[in-house]
Structure 1
Amino acid sequence: MIILKQMYVHNGRKFETLTIRNYTETDVKGLISLQRECFPPPFPQELLWSEEQLDSHIKTFPEGALCALVNGRIVGSMTALIIHFEPESPDHTWVQATDNGSIKNHDPYGNTLYVVDISVSPHYRKLGIGKWLMNTMYELTVYKRLERLLGGGRIPFYHKYSHEISAVQYVEDVMEGKKKDPVLSFLLHCGRSPIRVVSNYLDDKESLNFGVLMEWKNPFYKKTSC
């Protein structure tokens, strides 16, 4: 399945063409530049994509490698792989789920599309580009007849309140409108639902290494009989 979508987004002055497609080898430098722009320190710079990781994404599961372009410039990206997820044993780390970002553990016979990352240039946020990338992954989940889309969301504002409340309470406060978190709030707006707070999910000082597993259930999923 080759993904190629075009639509319009409004930049506050006019509508511009947004293209979402699978990224290829020719996009690697642009994707690395985007990562540096989206995740400056204190985010661990060793977690940014390398050429080797991006090459592995393209070769292992090209359908799950997406980029978004405005005026020919890469302004967003999203990567996913397929895994087998057991809701009864949900705890895991980002490294375990993604094979340290290489996605070489991609399982075409799995039941879950797992989000490795999503990035949107700070200059192009609030245009809905992240939502369009997420919606495209939902479409891929349906096309692949998978049970769900899943991924661990950061909670980068949690460090501001960690001396007062637990990570679980922080998530509840965001959902109740008492606090706002740029990542958690975005994922909720995209239709994702939190199912569990996981400790030591990712090396992330802002989130104190916590991650929130958030899923989107495929409404068209039908479990096949053996």
Structure 2
Amino acid sequence: MYKETLSSGIIIVPMQQEHAEQLEALQRIVFPNLAEEELLHADQYKKHVELFPEGQFVALDGDKVIAATSSIRYHFNLNDNEHHTFFEIMGGGWFTTHEPNGEWLYGMDVSVHPDYRSKGIARALYRARQYTCKQLGLKGQMTVGMLNGYAAVSDQMNIDEYYKKVKNHELFDPTVSVQEKVGFEIVGLMKDYLNDPTCGNAGAVIVLDAGKAI
């Protein structure tokens, strides 16, 4: 079983069904502006573990769930970023979109409790996902990173302009620019992806090759 112990004592391990209630509570803390139907709930987490256990990880401080990541396998064409919404891609939260033979690991979310940020936990979760990619022979990870810095400048530019500035490293986005530092590459813009004004309802399509070390 995968396990990484960080210098802080936090451990990264595969998600279990008994973590479900804590995971739902964590969602509400980390994503306060997400629409209710886009939040993940306890029963759904239990289903994720049943469907694709290799793609779900938690970070624990003792018995307390303080961070997590969820993912599915997915057929993704780098040259054709076919539009979809977050609600659609996560199968309404049930991950019925999981493709057992998909060649990419599609990250649904990475959530870290505010009290535990800037401790390398998110990077460790990405590392766990990278382990899954290598174990299953996948091409790598992909996801749509929320452009959370847009709200601060939305009165100055539209989301297309903001995206270009982030991609060209003219602006630093608190989510996507950090994901770039992990090793992800920005390959596209997905507008009308979710219902969150913080990111202008949009996200950046990002990919991480399975061969990259984190």
Normalised to the residue count of structure 2, the TM-score between the two structures is 0.91
- Name the CA shift for 1:89/1:174 in 2 (closer, same or farther; >3 Å): closer
The whole-number CA distance in structure 1 between the counterparts of 2:91 and 2:184 is 23
The whole-number CA distance in structure 2 between the counterparts of 1:82 and 1:154 is 20
Are 1:65 and 2:64 matched, yes or no? no
Aligned partners of 2:16 and 2:49 also within 8 Å: yes
Partner of 1:160: 152
* Aligned structure 1 segments of 4 or more residues deviating by more than 6 angstroms: none
Q: Which moved more, 1:22-31 or 1:159-168?
A: 159-168
Aligned partners of 1:56 and 1:104 also within 8 Å: no
Are 1:83 and 2:39 matched, yes or no? no
Aligned partners of 2:12 and 2:59 also within 8 Å: yes
1:107 to 89, 95, 99: 99
Q: How many equivalent pairs are there?
A: 211
Runs of at least 5 residues in structure 2 that lack an aligned partner in the other structure: none
**Displacement after TM superposition at 1:202 (Å):** 1.2
Identity of aligned residues (%): 24
The whole-number CA distance in structure 1 between the counterparts of 2:165 and 2:200 is 17
1:124 to 116, 136, 156: 116
1:61-109 Cα distance to aligned partner (Å, 9 max, x none)? 0111110012331110000110111223212222232212211221121
The whole-number CA distance in structure 2 between the counterparts of 1:51 and 1:71 is 20
**Displacement after TM superposition at 1:210 (Å):** 0.8
The whole-number CA distance in structure 1 between the counterparts of 2:21 and 2:193 is 28
Normalised to the residue count of structure 1, the TM-score between the two structures is 0.86
Secondary structure at the aligned position of 2:92 is classed as: coil
**Displacement after TM superposition at 1:176 (Å):** 4.7
**Displacement after TM superposition at 1:173 (Å):** 2.4
Partner of 1:134: 126
Are 1:30 and 2:29 matched, yes or no? no
Are 1:97 and 2:89 matched, yes or no? yes
The whole-number CA distance in structure 1 between the counterparts of 2:93 and 2:77 is 20
Q: Which moved more, 1:100-109 or 1:195-204?
A: 100-109
Q: Which has the larger radius of gyration?
A: 1
For 1:218, the aligned partner's letter is A
The whole-number CA distance in structure 1 between the counterparts of 2:185 and 2:41 is 30
RMSD: 1.8
The structure in which a higher percent of residues are helix is 2
The whole-number CA distance in structure 2 between the counterparts of 1:86 and 1:46 is 27
Secondary structure at the aligned position of 2:59 is classed as: strand
Runs of at least 5 residues in structure 1 that lack an aligned partner in the other structure: 9-15, 221-226
Secondary structure at the aligned position of 1:100 is classed as: helix
The whole-number CA distance in structure 2 between the counterparts of 1:21 and 1:61 is 14
The whole-number CA distance in structure 1 between the counterparts of 2:167 and 2:203 is 15
Aligned partners of 2:67 and 2:110 also within 8 Å: yes
1:199 to 187, 191, 196: 191
The whole-number CA distance in structure 1 between the counterparts of 2:152 and 2:5 is 39
Q: Which moved more, 1:163-172 or 1:66-75?
A: 163-172
